[in-house]
Structure 1
């Protein structure tokens, strides 16, 4: 193995006693809080518009929807949206690698923000070619930024034992949800009612504001965030460049050959990406599991981790459809009004962040209350509960779908109820999954396993994209019912085999 260059010790992070603080935390947390809030503002605002824009102008568009979109079918829209979401999380792996080996977290975040801005500006330009290029830029920038900004939050504190650390990440998490809450209300409204492209331009402006305040506030960040932890050696850099060029050349040759025999359609892009989104997570897990340097206990924990990974993939496959399958249904078949007041379809995407902020403290306090009484559910029970709730949410979805099938508009509160059930499921599964990953990670892969856990999102979304591309109608009652049943059965299955899974986990509970 090639050795890395010797680095001088990074200055000790954390504020000095005389420094101003941000709610008792290092002043740099305000910089990262605002950066993440504006990045999520742009990200979720664009996501709220994306499924509607893709079908606008086409046969599957909702009645009364403004034209000017790409006029795609619901099936194509579902495939594109799902694979876009999958690629964002897949790209967190190279994003973390660039932060660790090439640019350092601070420079990587700056370049990522510029890529996101460029992507949204390309989306603001009418035309299909610029649209897909813009989507690629946003996915690349979002994946790379996501992988590094949380690391920079950690740099603000004096190691993992700093008592302010958990609270700092909680404050940072609130920035994510604030951005996610307001963006559909602003970007969604402008995009739906005025101009799709103006909405995308607002997303670019939001990321621009985030970048400006990030650059102005970098003086408050730890110097550790400006350090490349393990820079590439000259030999490693050359190897990466050669392998990247070979991969690019192989892709070019493949598509030149395809173009020689047939017309390259969207499916020639979507299917390979969907397959990669499933194959890469599987290969990563196999590579770690087959590492002979792992101890017997680490091997056992990895076997247990795979159970949770598969369950998480099923969960996110259903959960993420709240942004496209349910959004499409809302545009066509829901009565989007409250006490006679009509609201844009994209506003549904604000429901989850509002519920997260309202329910997260309640559920966290509930776990502590049960823990004090010795009745807190185990990790396995929490995880299986989240998966069952995902399935229940789609069983609830069948009710408004049945109403619409009989020619009536479904009440908006049914959709809110679905998001409510999914949010409770998310709070049972997602935080537990992140915590579990840190506990079950082999020491050798400790810094990589969080990215591996995010690959469950990639696998779930890629599967849905592949099914939609293959002709499965994701917005049919039959498919929604099957998905609901699969999630419930999988959740119950984990609970039934909890003894076996617990043995694999060792002492972790």
Structure 2
């Protein structure tokens, strides 16, 4: 039976979605997915908080007096690696959704993904540059497999896209993400930055292990659709995919063998092709889905409307994801790390966004629900437009402390706390709404894969950052910062001005 997130199936007595057990008024399976995602995000954001400071540690761009033992890379290279890594996590969500739709089903894919993530963190715990990049690749692969499928399973818990609990459920799920993301820098960041980098990575592995156990023990609370493979591969298709994969692997091996053998290899030979790939793939995937003749006319129209939201999200994440790179290095070297005589590591700033989310998400969920009851809830287009303007304004504000710190002065932590706060309000207008919107507008044939498409917006945004860095752009330059701010604000205005056209393309989705 094909899994569809665009139309609700009749409730079945045996499905958790129709049972009497609830989690804060939602299906009990949401608690399992909430906890699984919370621990996965704990492991991911803990490692991410350490990433840039670990890469520059021991090198010329490290903070004086900070712990050594890192990879001693230049700041620009470290930020580019960070951007490519985040891009790959979200790029791999697309094949992750494909595996959920066509090979293992969402539930099995998530279990395998969590195991791969845990293994990746364990490899990161082993000192050495080769092990570091192997571990990073494993975490990216596992995260890609997990992301689209666990979000799809949240959608399975509800009675179709018109279930009034659906947006609230995704908002609660988003809180789980941010509980893990809040705790991770405080625990993993402190241990890694203050005591031992690799012990911090090991703690991330333990966190993912806990999440895996919770998921395996709680699968009986999930909808039966989560175990099904909606459109299984035929034997011929499986052989064709395997052949194509081996051909591309051989091409890559020959190409990089020549580059390395001739002695011209630098890290940009890896970063630039990946970044270009991260921009090409979203365009190719959306075009392929849009041109699929098996889609109904209504589904194709919705895909056209969805492209507007995808482009807006890419610009949003281009700025937002610099919280772990540009803003992280600013926190490390140009922001005071002492408040009322209490010293704290710069990785703690990585918890600020999540703290804002945990504080504000319930408020937003309640406000959206109250406005919906009065038939006054803002449309998705209005929410997206507001998010774009807010994230742009956050970088306008960021330009102020950046200018103040240009002479070596360390600025107050309140600047970063305020900037994260502005970005968080924008995030709550875009991210949980975008997750829910994707499950509503996804063609039935591409149920899990469309969640992967949503995450490709992050890939596109981060790949633009990578290309800017490798081209020599100074992300710490006020001109570059204000240019990004202008791009986001103009994108928000563009969505606002075209909102009627976009709403028309969305069909019955609002």
TM over 0.5, shorter chain: yes
Residue of 5, 12, 15 corresponding to 1:13: 15
Equivalent-residue separation in structure 2 for 1:204 and 1:54 (angstroms): 19
Partner of 2:411: 410
* TM-score, structure 2 as length reference: 0.90
Give 1:114 deviation, angstroms: 1.6
Partner of 2:3: none
Equivalent-residue separation in structure 2 for 1:299 and 1:205 (angstroms): 44
Partner of 2:326: 325
Equivalent-residue separation in structure 2 for 1:270 and 1:197 (angstroms): 24
SS of the residue aligned with 1:176?
A: helix
Equivalent-residue separation in structure 2 for 1:365 and 1:228 (angstroms): 35
Partner of 1:466: 467
Count, aligned residues: 499
Equivalent-residue separation in structure 2 for 1:300 and 1:111 (angstroms): 35
Aligned CA distance change for structure 1 residues 381 and 223 (closer, same or farther; 3 Å): closer
Partner of 1:52: 53
Partner of 2:210: 209
Query: How big is each residue's C-alpha offset from its partner over 1:369-400, in whole Å with a ceiling of 9 and x where there is no partner?
Result: 55566654333222111101111000110111
| Alpha carbons 2:337, 2:343 under 8 Å: kept | yes
| Alpha carbons 2:103, 2:232 under 8 Å: kept | yes
Equivalent-residue separation in structure 1 for 2:506 and 2:163 (angstroms): 27
Give 1:435 deviation, angstroms: 3.6
Partner of 2:6: none
Partner of 2:100: 99
| Alpha carbons 1:100, 1:228 under 8 Å: kept | yes
Give 1:320 deviation, angstroms: 0.3
Between 432-441 and 58-67, the greater mean CA deviation after superposition = 432-441
Partner of 1:68: 69
Give 1:421 deviation, angstroms: 0.4
Aligned CA distance change for structure 1 residues 46 and 508 (closer, same or farther; 3 Å): same
Give 1:411 deviation, angstroms: 0.5
Aligned CA distance change for structure 1 residues 245 and 208 (closer, same or farther; 3 Å): same
Between 272-281 and 477-486, the greater mean CA deviation after superposition = 477-486
Equivalent-residue separation in structure 2 for 1:42 and 1:409 (angstroms): 30
Between 484-493 and 389-398, the greater mean CA deviation after superposition = 484-493
Equivalent-residue separation in structure 2 for 1:103 and 1:207 (angstroms): 21
Aligned CA distance change for structure 1 residues 26 and 301 (closer, same or farther; 3 Å): closer
Give 1:303 deviation, angstroms: 3.3
SS of the residue aligned with 2:16?
A: coil
For 1:26-425, list aligned pairs within 5 A.
28-155=29-156, 168-292=169-293, 294=295, 298-370=299-371, 376-425=377-426
SS of the residue aligned with 2:60?
A: coil
Equivalent-residue separation in structure 1 for 2:276 and 2:431 (angstroms): 25
Query: How big is each residue's C-alpha offset from its partner over 1:312-353, in whole Å with a ceiling of 9 and x where there is no partner?
Result: 111100000011110001100001232232211111111111
> CA RMSD for the aligned pairs?
2.6
Aligned CA distance change for structure 1 residues 125 and 399 (closer, same or farther; 3 Å): same
Aligned CA distance change for structure 1 residues 141 and 364 (closer, same or farther; 3 Å): same
Equivalent-residue separation in structure 2 for 1:28 and 1:374 (angstroms): 29
Equivalent-residue separation in structure 1 for 2:250 and 2:413 (angstroms): 50
Give 1:276 deviation, angstroms: 0.5
Aligned CA distance change for structure 1 residues 148 and 11 (closer, same or farther; 3 Å): farther
Aligned CA distance change for structure 1 residues 101 and 294 (closer, same or farther; 3 Å): closer
Between 395-404 and 332-341, the greater mean CA deviation after superposition = 332-341
Give 1:490 deviation, angstroms: 2.0
Partner of 2:5: none
SS of the residue aligned with 1:64?
A: coil
Give 1:23 deviation, angstroms: 5.1
Equivalent-residue separation in structure 2 for 1:361 and 1:242 (angstroms): 48
Give 1:413 deviation, angstroms: 0.3
Q: Which runs of 5+ in 1 are unaligned?
A: 1-9
Equivalent-residue separation in structure 2 for 1:12 and 1:151 (angstroms): 19
Query: How big is each residue's C-alpha offset from its partner over 1:208-238, in whole Å with a ceiling of 9 and x where there is no partner?
Result: 2222333344455455433333332221211
| Alpha carbons 2:404, 2:411 under 8 Å: kept | yes
Aligned CA distance change for structure 1 residues 214 and 338 (closer, same or farther; 3 Å): same
Equivalent-residue separation in structure 2 for 1:431 and 1:290 (angstroms): 28
Aligned CA distance change for structure 1 residues 204 and 402 (closer, same or farther; 3 Å): same
Between 495-504 and 304-313, the greater mean CA deviation after superposition = 495-504
Equivalent-residue separation in structure 2 for 1:444 and 1:196 (angstroms): 44
SS of the residue aligned with 2:202?
A: helix
